Amino acid sequence: MMEQHNPTHVVLVSSPGLGHIIPMIELAKRFVLQHNFKATVLAVTSQTSTAEKQILNSALTPSLCHVIEIPSPDITDLVQPNDAVLTHLSVIMRQAKPAVKSILSKATPRPSALIVDPFCHESIPLARELNILSHVYLASHAWALALIVYSPVLDQQIEGQYVDQKEPLKIPGCNPVRPEDVFDPMLDRNDSQYQEYLKLAKGILQSDGVLVNTWEELQHETLEAFREGGLLSEALSMKIPVYAVGPLVREPESDTSSVTQSLLTWLDEQPSESVVYVSFGSGGMLSCEQMRELAWGLELSERRFVWVVRAPTENAADAAFFTTGSDAGDEVAKYLPEGFLSRTRGLGLLVPGWAQQMSILRHGSVGGFVSHCGWGSTLESLTNGVPLVAWPLYAEQRMNATLLAEELGLAVRPKVLPTKKVVGREEIARMVREVIPDDQSLTSNSVRERVKEMQQSALNALSEGGSSYVELSAVAKSIEG
Ligand code: UDP
């Protein structure tokens, strides 16, 4: 009888939030497809987001990886309702640790590695207890990782608030970070989330390696800083490797709902690269005034549009983080300028709350993306050759916008951060026209050209022998031992 070999088993743990769960499932699939591993994803879920439920349902049906849902523990006595998202996530993942431990220790075949997102860093010691490898998967880019892991040093070096600094924050071997671009948890050093953030930054470096969702050609210099002898690696005495394995993005989901089908039929009828897609990710919200200016701006731009709309909020810009996709569509119309819906009939579509983003971005009629610059959305745009209008709102998105618009030339952006000042209709119209000019055949559009080059570069990185393919193979090899 032939001897049956158990496949190498990796267990991946994700914190709540679509921007965390989706990339973790994608990474799991890569291990299965590229390396014949068994992959189990432990998804800690918010259970308050309709979109999260949908994504998990499609992942729970027999597929490439095995997904186990861990409902968020009740943390009402441990946090204040107004605590930041990062505080909530950190506490949820701390409380979920026993559940992760129990599943991990019983998993069969015995796992060879644990891979966690940064919010699950406190589970890294569980891997040590089981004598298996642990990796962190940051589904963001290398410059973001650099700021995170260097933050404990900045914490020692800099006095007062980061946002009050006159000079950019220096990170060895990397571009400096403008004070206004720091991550949300760095905006106020007195907030409890800042302490959680510092723990997370130190926790990441306790792992055996960090995977980032970027690729060599996109961020060569920053990745160099992390390599042996690199300036950042030296400054932090880093002992662990950083692997650029991206861009890992998902395939469009099959969705037979009438909303998606009529949207795709409408897109089929529009000219090539003529439609701007507008969406602010899983958590993004606009103020009432900003929402009206955006509507006016789209109308003034005279471009076709698909806009994923949410009722506005005057609270935090990430107010929808735990409830994504749960809005009632009819709520929204009353916040739009009078007559907007009738004037734009046939020219634009509004999708309430949540859309099949990958199906939209992949459609040939889409030529621009007004985006909050969540890294998942950014990569989905680039891999489909769609230039961005960068509209950062929360988390690390200000840094993403700077990277895209100022360093890489893949996006245009407003002059002032949208979280500081309402972006006016004229500026919105100008930016939309810049990514979708009147007659694309007559206009040389450098942003678009550059995006197309990066689309090809991404494809090369992922194909057999490409930089990201090779890096993921190195991770797999280290896990196989
Ligand atoms: N997404 C989607 N439909 C929407 C909004 C978002 O499918 O209407 C998906 C998007 O394709 C991406 C993820 O949700 O995969 C959002 O992740 P990202 O990193 O862009 O931002 P976050 O929402 O975490 O801020």
Q: How many domains does the chain have?
A: 2
Q: Where are the beta strands (DSSP E) in 200-289?
A: 210-212, 242-244, 275-279
Is residue 255 part of the annotated active site? The answer reads: no
Q: What is the H or E stretch that residue 264 is in?
A: helix 258-268
Best of 318, 350, 357, 394 to mutate for ligand 1, by most ligand atoms within 8 A of CB?
A: 357
Distance CA 439, CA 406 (A): 25
**384 and 292 in contact (C-beta within 8 Å)?**
no
How far is CA 167 from each of CA 145, 177, 180, 268, 472, rounded to the nearest angstrom? 21, 9, 11, 49, 37
Q: How far is the CA of 280 from the centre of ligand 1 (A)?
A: 8
Q: Rounded to the nearest 10 degrees, what angle do helices 288-301 and 425-435 cross at?
A: 50
Q: Is residue 82 situated within a structural domain?
A: yes
> Do residue 299 and residue 243 come from a single domain?
no
Locus of tokens 């001897």 = 3
Locus of tokens 């060599």 = 216
Q: Mean pLDDT, 10 residues at a time, over the chain (481 residues)? A: 78 94 94 95 86 76 82 93 92 97 95 97 96 98 98 98 98 98 96 96 98 98 97 97 97 84 95 97 90 97 95 74 58 89 93 92 98 97 98 96 97 95 97 89 76 98 98 97 82
Residue pLDDT, tens place only, 242-293? 999 999 999 888 888 888 899 999 999 999 999 999 999 987 889 999 999 9
Q: Which atom of ligand 1 sits closest to the CA of residue 280?
A: 5
Q: How far is the CA of 364 from the centre of ligand 1 (A)?
A: 20
Closest CA to 170 of 244, 220, 225, 209: 225
Q: Is residue 447 situated within a structural domain?
A: no
**400, 419, 436: which is the final residue of a domain?**
436
Atom 19 (ligand 1): residue with closest C-alpha? Answer: 376
Tell me what pLDDT residue 394 has. Answer: 92
CATH code of 357's domain = 3.40.50.2000
Q: Is residue 225 situated within a structural domain?
A: yes
Atom 21 (ligand 1): residue with closest C-alpha? Answer: 374
> Do residue 38 and residue 177 come from a single domain?
yes
Tell me what pLDDT residue 140 has. Answer: 98
Q: Which atom of ligand 1 sits closest to the CA of residue 357?
A: 7
The model carries a pTM of 0.95
Q: Is residue 442 situated within a structural domain?
A: no
Q: Is residue 476 situated within a structural domain?
A: yes
SS (H, E, C) 403-432: HHHHHCCCEECCCCCCCCCCCCHHHHHHHH
Q: How far is the CA of 335 from the centre of ligand 1 (A)?
A: 23
Tell me what pLDDT residue 62 has. Answer: 57
Q: Is residue 288 situated within a structural domain?
A: yes
Residue pLDDT, tens place only, 34-89? 999 999 999 999 877 787 887 877 766 556 889 999 999 999 999 998 899 999 99
Q: What is the DSSP string of 375-404?
A: HHHHHHHHHTT--EEE---STTHHHHHHII
Q: Which atom of ligand 1 sits closest to the CA of residue 354?
A: 8
Closest CA to 416 of 432, 434, 429, 428: 428
> Do residue 213 and residue 274 come from a single domain?
no
Could you check whether the bond before residue 437 is cis, i.e. omega within 30 degrees of 0?
A: no
Is residue 117 part of the annotated active site? The answer reads: yes
Closest CA to 44 of 54, 36, 33, 56: 56
**206 and 124 in contact (C-beta within 8 Å)?**
yes
> Do residue 195 and residue 154 come from a single domain?
yes
Atom 7 (ligand 1): residue with closest C-alpha? Answer: 357
**166 and 158 in contact (C-beta within 8 Å)?**
no
Q: What is the H or E stretch that residue 104 is in?
A: helix 97-106
Give the domain extent around 369.
258-436
Residue of 66, 117, 208, 318 marked catalytic: 117
> Do residue 231 and residue 329 come from a single domain?
no
**Pocket around ligand 1: residues whose beta carbon is below 6 Å from it?**
17-19, 22, 279, 281-283, 308, 354-355, 357-358, 374-377, 380
Give the largest CA-CA distance in the chain: 75
> Do residue 226 and residue 303 come from a single domain?
no
> Do residue 327 and residue 280 come from a single domain?
yes
Locus of tokens 């980032």 = 212
Atom 24 (ligand 1): residue with closest C-alpha? Answer: 19
Distance CA 76, CA 58 (A): 29
> Do residue 318 and residue 222 come from a single domain?
no
> Do residue 384 and residue 317 come from a single domain?
yes
> Do residue 429 and residue 468 come from a single domain?
no
> Do residue 21 and residue 130 come from a single domain?
yes
Q: Which atom of ligand 1 sits closest to the CA of residue 351?
A: 8
Q: Is residue 253 situated within a structural domain?
A: no
> Do residue 279 and residue 227 come from a single domain?
no
* Count of other CB atoms within 10 angstroms of residue 112: 20
> What are the backbone angles phi and psi of residue 206, rounded to the nearest 5°?
-85, -5
Closest CA to 214 of 408, 351, 66, 420: 408
Tell me what pLDDT residue 61 has. Answer: 59
Q: Is residue 450 situated within a structural domain?
A: no
